[in-house]
Amino acid sequence: MEDGQSDTENNRIQLRVGERLFHTTKETLTRESDYFAARLARWKDTDPDGSYFIDSDPTLFEVILRYLRTGTPPLFFDPATQTHDLAKYAALLSEARYFQIPSLVIQVDTNIRVYDEDSFRDLPTSSSSSTSKVEYFQTTGIERRFVCPLASVEGGHVCYYRCWDDCREAGLSVTYEDRPYFKVLAIARTVTFDPKKLEYCG
pLDDT beyond 50 at 154 = no
Which amino acid is residue 104, in one-letter code? Answer: L
Strand partners, 62: none
Model pLDDT for residues 6-28, shown as the tens digit of each residue: 555 668 899 999 889 999 999 99
- The mean pLDDT of 105-122, rounded to a whole number, is 72
Superfamily holding 7-108: Potassium Channel Kv1.1; Chain A (3.30.710.10)
pLDDT beyond 70 at 200 = no
**DSSP state string for 38-63:** HHHHH-----TTSPEEE-S-HHHHHH
Model pLDDT for residues 157-190, shown as the tens digit of each residue: 455 445 656 666 777 776 777 888 788 888 787 7
User: What are the boundaries of each domain within the chain?
Assistant: 7-108, 114-189
**Helix, strand, or coil here: 16?**
strand
Model pLDDT for residues 43-59, shown as the tens digit of each residue: 776 777 778 888 899 99
Q: 83 with 157: CB under 8 angstroms?
A: no
- Is this prediction's pTM over 0.75? no
Q: 73 with 36: CB under 8 angstroms?
A: no
Q: 61 with 54: CB under 8 angstroms?
A: yes
pLDDT beyond 90 at 87 = no
